[in-house]
Structure 1
Amino acid sequence: MRLAGIFSASTVLLLLLLGASPSCHGATPSHNITDILAAHPNFTEFSAALSSTGAGAEIDRHTPITVLAIDNGVMAQLKAQKLQPKDLEHVIYLHALLDYFDATKLGSIQGGFAHATSLYQAVGKAQGGEGIVNITVFPGGRVAFALSGPSNALPAAFYQQSVKELPNDIAVLQVSAPIWSPAPVAAAPAPPPDTAPRLADLLSKNGCGGFSGLLAATADAATTFERSAGGVAGLTVFCPGDKAVADFNSTFKHLSADGQVALLLYHGVAAHYSAQSLKAINGDVSTLATDGSKGSKYNLTVRADGDTVKLSSASPTAAKVTKTVVDKALLAVYLIDAVLLPRELFNGSTTHTPAPASSPAQAPPPAPASSPASPPVPASSPPHAPTPALAPVVAPATPPTPRRRPAPSPEDTPADSPDADSQTPADQKNNGARDTATWSLATAVAAAVPVVVLLL
């Protein structure tokens, strides 16, 4: 009986432990969303909203999970809606998906479309299917997140970059705008036609004619600006003045076609930033050139220096906002005093085009060839280039002078002959032949003397 009681108690304890474990959500989570976002100052407002709504605690209990984070500037727009706490909770819970989507998985979605269950539906707060989020991959690689349903046919939030990835555990992705809920958040009314002139006309009439001309000549960039201007999140444009564009024009022409498009898109942000919210950013914002699916950040640093807003890029000097051209509805246009240079194109340099071929160190030029038909180089001169081997010109080998002959007396000694080194090769050859003949005659005479004596 005692053993049965122990076994029964152990079984109950084991069942309690299993029931308390988070295995119903997959593997035990090893992440903390607050700690992850703490390393990124531009997400402090979003992190605070996760904590205040309880979404952060739910995210830490679930795995795998994907968090769609929005930066401080976008959060400022959301707070400007003055949502009730319940409605804010609704929106924030939609930004957590109960599946793992990193940059690689987004780019490999079959058919370019998928859907995921949001945390809003998983915790039982949603009605029907309103907590389902559609993921759409557009031609060119852009990825959009939107609520499922006909009221959200147009995508509201574009993927910008990956913030943190722990494979099969948690992925934190930055998106361009909130994923609006159709119930608590009403879509902003479209401005009347007369208050929303075409962007090109607006720029041309306010000191940005040069920039407007570049946009008009680059169809892809112009289309992206116009589309963003009519989007639900709005558009912010940093327009370089005409003088700045004129000074930069020669460099712009040397960029590749893709580089030109990227540079123009770098001057736009897919969200409306009022003059006040612009000063509150104090960090990096994604631009229209940002394409997380291709690993292209193209972030722009925005900081307030007193009442002046400065934009830092690859240029050694930050550009300054000199005038607010328009700031109403969902469009903000600011005049700036310099062209913004994406770090991905300029790497800290003010020019993108490679230096002329004569500037960098080059391979040394080939050594000049020796003059043709030149006379043989004397042996004492260092050779400049390999030449065909020539037989050396030397005097014929001279047999040694017989040592048996008596040394001639001084008076019989002939005068010194010219130095052999100073003689020409022909003279040396003649002298050698003469010495050889003399030696041969003397040898013959010496051999004949004993014969004559014997005969006598």
Structure 2
Amino acid sequence: MRNFLLPTSLLLVLTILHCTTTTSFAQSPAQSPAPSGPTNCTKILEKAGQFTMFIRLLKSTQVADQINTQLNNSNQGLTLFAPPDNAFSSLKSGTLNSLTDQDKVELVQFHVLPTFVPLAQFQTVSNPLRTQAGNANNGRFPLNVTTAGNQVNVTTGVVDTTVANTIYTDGQLAIYQVDKVLLPLDLFGAPPPALAPKPEKGSSSSSADSPVSAKDDSDDTSGVMGLEQHVILSLGTALVSLFFL
């Protein structure tokens, strides 16, 4: 009887071990963490919500592709200022429709800094900030920030706004929500006043610039000529008188 129970017990133990091992291998793939995908700025904004208009501009101008390519193929970080939908709805009617395709690209690029800037670092950055729209030193795309405690103020020369909150940051990409669309001075600033045209040489306006001097010259000439005529007549009279004497 004991000899019969021993093989049976051994068989039962082996069966349990086999089932446990099989179950462990079957569950192991589900327990492994999913591989992290490439950084995608539009998906981050979609998850945050309320950025439909900005996402549409990022995609239509292909700036989103440039951002994602740069983030996933280099170590250079980026900072993105993202206006929500209500910021776009507060714009003057027809503002975006009045822009050319190139203008829209520059508008979106104006919201992108080519480096990763943590929120606390805005206290020490140098103004104007350089954006992907162009070099701010030529006066076309100035973007300046100031801080007051924890508040970050942003000004473009056309609009003033603040950083409302941090949407995303991972040490390479920072996305901050701003209350207004950042309108660059080069696209939305007042045009410079037109310069008055210079008068052409020989025009009537140039001769009219000095009427007094012209009159004075003529008066002086006539006076000199009158004196010469008087002297000549006097000499002539004297000669005639001598002849008859």
TM bracket, shorter-chain basis: 0.5 to 0.7
Q: 1:297 to 1:280 in 2, by over 3 A?
A: same
From 129, 149, 154, give the equivalent of 1:285. Answer: 129
From 196, 200, 209, give the equivalent of 2:52. Answer: 209
Partner of 2:42: 200
Q: 1:208 to 1:250 in 2, by over 3 A?
A: same
Is the 8 Å Cα contact of residues 282 and 304 (structure 1) preserved in structure 2? no
Partner of 2:172: 330
> Would you tell me which structure has more helix in proportion to its own residues?
2
Unaligned runs of 5+ in 2: 1-33, 192-245
Partner of 1:218: 61
Partner of 2:86: 243
Counterpart code for 2:180: A
Q: CA deviation at 1:199?
A: 0.8
Q: Percent identity?
A: 25
Is the 8 Å Cα contact of residues 282 and 303 (structure 1) preserved in structure 2? no
Please report the TM-score for the alignment, with normalisation by the length of structure 2. Answer: 0.57
Counterpart code for 2:54: F
Is the 8 Å Cα contact of residues 81 and 178 (structure 2) preserved in structure 1? yes
Q: 1:202 to 1:210 in 2, by over 3 A?
A: same
Say yes or no: does 1:261 pair with 2:105: yes
Counterpart code for 2:117: Y
Q: Give 3-state SS (helix, strand or coil) of 1:310's partner.
A: strand
Q: CA deviation at 1:195?
A: 6.8
Q: CA deviation at 1:197?
A: 3.7
Partner of 1:7: none
Q: How does 1:20-419 map to 2 (within 5 A)?
A: 194=36, 196-206=38-48, 207-219=50-62, 221-230=63-72, 231-248=74-91, 250-281=94-125, 283-290=127-134, 297-316=140-159, 318-348=160-190
Count residues with an aligned counterpart. 154
Computing the radius of gyration from Cα coordinates, the structure with the larger value is 1
Partner of 1:138: none
Q: CA deviation at 1:304?
A: 0.7
Q: 1:196 to 1:273 in 2, by over 3 A?
A: farther
Counterpart code for 1:283: N
Q: CA deviation at 1:226?
A: 2.2
Q: CA deviation at 1:282?
A: 5.4
Q: Give 3-state SS (helix, strand or coil) of 2:107's partner.
A: helix
**Structural RMSD (CA):** 2.4
